[in-house]
Structure 1
Amino acid sequence: MDLKQLAALRAISEAGSFGQAAKRLRLTQSAVSYQIRNLEEELGQTLIFRSRPNVTLSPAGLTALRSYERILGEIDQLRISFGSRDEAEVSGELRVASSILGIVYLYGDLIGEFIYAHPRIEVKMTTTESGQEGARQVIARQTDVAFVAFPIDGAQLQSITLGVSEHVAIVPAEHRLAEFDSVTVDILRQHPFVRYAPGAGSRHATDRIFLSGHGYPPIILESNDTEFIKRVVRMGLGLAIVPSFTISAAKDPRLHTLRIEGQPTRQEFGLVFRRRVKSKTLDLFCEFARARASEILQKAGR
C-alpha cells in the first residue's frame, strides 16, 4: 500500500468516475484502475461500487478515505513542526543534561530563558553527577546535548566552548593560610583534602594540579556536591579546590579563597552533542547558548 493508491481513491470519490479522477491525477484511466484494484486486493475489501454514470465508495472505501485524510493531516503537522523557517515557530523535544553544579551556578538562567523564548519546544532536563556522565548519555542517545567541562572523551561528539573558569583553593576563614592571597601546591599537600569524584570537570582540574608532581594530599572524602564540599571545609576538616564561580564573599563569609601559584587552573566549559545529527531544536539551542556566552562568562567570573 502506498499514498498514491489512496490519492486515487480520494480523486475517484471527488470526481465521481475513473475517467475524471485520471484527468485530475494526470494519469491514464487504466493506471488509476490498476491502483484501485491492487489496493482492494491488499485490503481484501471492495472499496468502490462501480455503476453508471457515477461510481461511489463502499463503507470500506469510506473508512479507507478517512484514514488517508488523517494521514495527510499528520503529514501537514510534521511539516509545521519541522519545516518552519521562523525560529519562534520551531517545535519539538529537546533533551538537555547538566550537572547540578552547572545548573545552579552557570546554566539555569539560560535554560529558563530558552524555555520562555521557545514555548513550543518541550525541554526535558536530566541532572547528572558529572559532565562526563552527561557526555556518555549523549553518546548513548539518551539525551541530545549536555553541558560539560572540557576535556571530554568521545570521538562521536562535537563540542562548543562557551567560556573558561578558574579554580581556586578554599580554606576556613580562621585557617592560618587565610592571611595569604595565594598558595603553592607543596603547601596544599600538607593538609587533608576534599576532592571531586572521578568524571567531574573539577576532578580533572585537580588531577592536573597534583598528579603532575608528587600526588594528592591525604584525601578525607570525595563528592560532586559543591555545597557539601564547602561545608566540610568550613567545618575545618580539610581544604579543597573548587571553581571560582561557586564562591561568593557575600554567601561564603566563612571561607577564604587562595590563588594556586604556578599551576594550570583554567578550564573550558561548554556543550557537547553527537556529530552529524540534524535537529532544528538542537541547532536553535546551540545558537541560543552561543549568543549568551558573555552572560555565562560573567557568572563564571571571567
Structure 2
Amino acid sequence: MELRHLRYFVAVAEERHFGRAAERLHMAQPPLSQQIRQLEAELGLTLLTRTTRRVDLTPAGAAYLERAREILGAVDAAAHEAASIASGRRGRLLIGCVGSATYSLLPALARTLRAELPEVEFGFRGEMLSPDQAAALTDGTLDLGLLRPLPDSPGLSITHLRQENLLVAMPKDHRFAGRRRVRIADLDGEGLVIHAGGGRSAMNAMIQELFDSAGIRSHIAHEVAETSTLVTFVAAGLGVAIVPEPTAALAVPGVVYVPLTGTPGVELVAATRAGDESPLLTRALAILAGLSNS
C-alpha cells in the first residue's frame, strides 16, 4: 500500500463517483478503478459499493475513510512543518543581550521577530555579560548573542552590528552634570560604579584600558553584575559610570548622561556558533542588521 492509494480512495469516497474522482485527480478512470480494487484486495475488505450511477461507502469503508483522512492530514502537516523549518519560518531561537542592548535593541528586536516569524518560539535573556554569553553559545544554551567583542572567541562567528559612543552616567547634582562633554582625564579620582572584573565583563576591561591609556588610576567604588543595578547605584550617589550610549534608554530618575569625548566608543556584535547555518538564524541576523542600522 502507498499513500497514493489512500489519496485515490479519499477522492472516490468524497465524490461518490469514479468519473468525478478521476477528473479531480487528473487521471483516467480505468487506472483509478484498478487502484481501488488493488487497495480492497490488499485489505481483504469491500470499501465501496458500486452502481451505474453512484458509489457508496460500506461501514468498513466509512471507518477507513476517517483514518485515511487523518493519515493524509498528518503527512501533509509533516511536509509543511519540514518546509517551514527548512526555510527558517519555524523553530526555536534563544537570544542573549548585554545590558545596554537589553534596554535599547531587545524590545524592537523581539517585536519584529514575532511579527515577521510568528511560528518561531523565541527566548530572550537580558542583562547577560559578554563572557557568559560566549560560554552559553558554546554549550548550546544560546543560539545568538548580542555582546561586546572578546579578546578570544574560539568556536564563535562574529558579525559587527554597530559602534556605540560612550557616556558618563552621573548623579544629577554632580559637578559635571551641566557639562556638554567630559574627558577621561576629568574622571581622575572619581569613584566608579563598574561591571564585575576578573574577566567577567568586557566593559570592565575596556574601561580599565581607557584609564591606563590616559595615565590615571581608576578608583572602583562598586562592582555590579547588571546595567540596571549600575545605573541605580549612580542615581543613589554611589559613583559615576562609563556606559554605552544606548544605556540612556534606561531612564532612571536622578541620573544625567554626559558624552565622553576622546574615545572610539565600544562595538556591539552578534555572535553565533561557528558553522551554524540554520535558516532561522540567518533570518534573525538579517532582521537584527536592519534594526541596528536604522
Provide TM-score, normalisation by structure 1: 0.65
Distance 1:74 1:281, change over 3 A: farther
Distance 2:259 2:168 in 1: 6
* Structure 2 unmatched runs, 5+: 6-40, 45-68
2:222 is equivalent to residue 221 of structure 1: yes
CA contact (8 A) 1:82 1:280 kept: no
- In the TM superposition, residue 175 of structure 1 has moved relative to its aligned partner by 2.0
Code of the aligned partner of 1:134: Q
Q: How does 1:137-176 map to 2 (within 5 A)?
A: 137-151=136-150, 153-176=152-175
Aligned to 1:263: 263
Distance 1:227 1:84 in 2: 38
Provide TM-score, normalisation by structure 2: 0.67
Distance 1:272 1:213, change over 3 A: same
Code of the aligned partner of 2:141: Q
Distance 1:115 1:126 in 2: 16
Residue 233 of structure 2 aligns to a residue whose secondary structure is helix
Code of the aligned partner of 2:242: I
2:211 is equivalent to residue 210 of structure 1: yes
Code of the aligned partner of 1:278: E
Residue 110 of structure 1 aligns to a residue whose secondary structure is helix
Distance 1:196 1:280, change over 3 A: same
CA contact (8 A) 1:139 1:274 kept: yes
Distance 1:70 1:140 in 2: 39
Distance 1:75 1:159 in 2: 39
* Structure 1 unmatched runs, 5+: 1-9, 15-53, 58-68, 296-302
- In the TM superposition, residue 195 of structure 1 has moved relative to its aligned partner by 0.8
Distance 2:141 2:249 in 1: 35
- In the TM superposition, residue 100 of structure 1 has moved relative to its aligned partner by 4.6
Distance 1:90 1:256, change over 3 A: closer
2:89 is equivalent to residue 93 of structure 1: no
Distance 1:274 1:76, change over 3 A: farther
- The root-mean-square deviation of aligned C-alpha atoms, in Å, is 3.8
Distance 1:221 1:152, change over 3 A: same
2:274 is equivalent to residue 275 of structure 1: yes
State the 4+ residue runs in structure 1 displaced beyond 6 angstroms: 69-75
CA deviations over 1:8-40 (Å, ceiling 9, x no partner): xx35xx6xxxxxxxxxxxxxxxxxxxxxxxxxx
Q: How does 1:40-51 map to 2 (within 5 A)?
A: none
Distance 1:82 1:171, change over 3 A: same
